[in-house]
Structure 1
């Protein structure tokens, strides 16, 4: 899954899934993940992109034994709140358990996205990056990730 950054497009996606225009980047990531779960991709992307991105998202790190974690109850409550804020047509299609799993992935794997020209204190949004999550959960203590792509050049 490529970066999901809160911008006007992400706000639109958020309001399509949830009955609110949430201000937190995590809501935009959740909305985009729900759309991938439902097989709804960005119409600007080729057919099959949503399915491929959903498979990538499903392969993100999850702890092996997470049922007893205290955070699980927090994820459950937050997921129930998000589920209540979904449109009625989505209630039947998306179970709370799916939202709990997605919240956990976002908490464990999302990274802050900043504009290069902005101060390091200002957060622009959140992103899920497949290769970065592998370095983040590597068993090698010296693993790191550095993008060599020039964002301004595309």
Structure 2
């Protein structure tokens, strides 16, 4: 029983946060240079306002382009495979290595967090603030069905981890 879902996932790497920091610092630098070059209080205010809104919008568009990628997620009876369609990179999550998993939605971000037996965590996320994400909840329901079937044979792996909220 393999099901496939086309999703738009969020890229949560450190380089994404460096882009945000760089955009913020560039905005501050442009505001500083502009206010020193423009002599006149009303023009300085308008310059700062235009740069702030323009760079904010540009940063959002850049983040949307850099931090969202199309992916093909396959839910199988013993694993979950995430294939990045932008660079054809594929990652597999074997159910035998997963101690527990949790699905949650916070501020428009859908999270699927796997806690491995070795203590590491693997996070898959999709951000609705950047646009349509696809059928993420359908993928989670399919994963829960596959995990329930898998737990019949292996009761210590793929346990659903519930939030305390």
Superposition TM-score, scaled by structure 2 size? 0.25
TM-score normalised by L of structure 1: 0.26
Higher fraction of strand = 2
